[in-house]
Amino acid sequence: MLCARLHLVFVSCIVLIGCKKPADSEPSVVWNVPETPQHFGAQFIPNDNPLSALKWELGRQLFFDPQLSSDGSTSCSSCHLPSHAFGGSSPTAPGVGGALGTRNVPVLSNIGWHPYFTREGGVPTLEMQVLVPIQETNELNHNIVLIAEQLNSDSLYIKMTQDAFGVDPSPYTITRALSAFERTLISGTSAYDRWLEGDASALSQAALRGQDVFESIGCGQCHSGPQFSDFELRNNGLFVVYPDSGLYRLTLNPDDIGKFKTASLRNLSYSAPYMFDGSVATLDDVINQYAQGGSNHFNQAAAIQPFEITAAERMDLKAFLGALDDPQFVAWGETLAP
For 95-148, write each residue's pLDDT tens digit.
999 998 899 999 999 999 999 999 999 999 999 999 999 999 999 999 999 999
Mean residue pLDDT across the chain: 92
Task: Quote the pLDDT of residue 28.
Answer: 55
In the predicted structure, residue 306 carries a pLDDT above the cut 60: yes
How would residue 32 be classed by pLDDT, with cut points 50, 70 and 90? confident
Higher-confidence residue of 27 and 72: namely 72
Q: pLDDT value at position 233?
A: 98
Please compute the mean of the pLDDT values over residues 207-236 and round it to a whole number. Answer: 98
Helix intervals (H) in 74-154: 76-79, 126-129, 131-135, 144-151
Q: Could you tell me which of 225, 235, 252, 219 has the C-alpha nearest to residue 320?
A: 219
pLDDT of 15? 30
Confidence of residue 5 (pLDDT cuts 50, 70, 90): very low
According to the model, what pLDDT value does residue 31 have?
60
Report the pLDDT value the prediction gives residue 8, as an integer from 0 to 100. Answer: 37
In the chain, the percentage of residues whose pLDDT exceeds 70 is 91
The model's pTM is 0.89
pLDDT at 93: 93
Predicted pLDDT at 100: 86
134-185 per-position pLDDT tens digit: 999 999 999 999 999 999 999 999 999 999 999 999 999 999 999 999 999 9
Return the pLDDT at 27.
Answer: 53
pLDDT at 103: 95
Report the 10 Å Cβ neighbour count for 82.
22
Burial class (CB in 10 A: 0-12, 13-18, 19+), 224: middle
Cα–Cα dist 171/194, whole Å? 40
Q: What is the predicted pLDDT for the residue at 26?
A: 53
How far apart are the C-alpha atoms of 302 and 66, rounded to whole Å?
43
49 contact partners, CB below 8 Å, separation of at least 6: 55, 127, 176, 179, 180
- Average pLDDT, stretch 60-79? 97
Q: Rounded CA gap, 76 and 171, in Å? A: 16
Tell me: pLDDT of 12 over 70: no
**In this predicted structure, what is the pLDDT of residue 194?**
98
Cβ atoms of 32 and 15 within 8 Å: the answer is yes
Q: What is the mean pLDDT of residues 28-57?
A: 89
Domains, the chain, in order of start with CATH, read 2-187+327-333 (1.10.760.10), 204-322 (1.10.760.10)
Looking at residue 11, the DSSP 8-state letter turns out to be: T
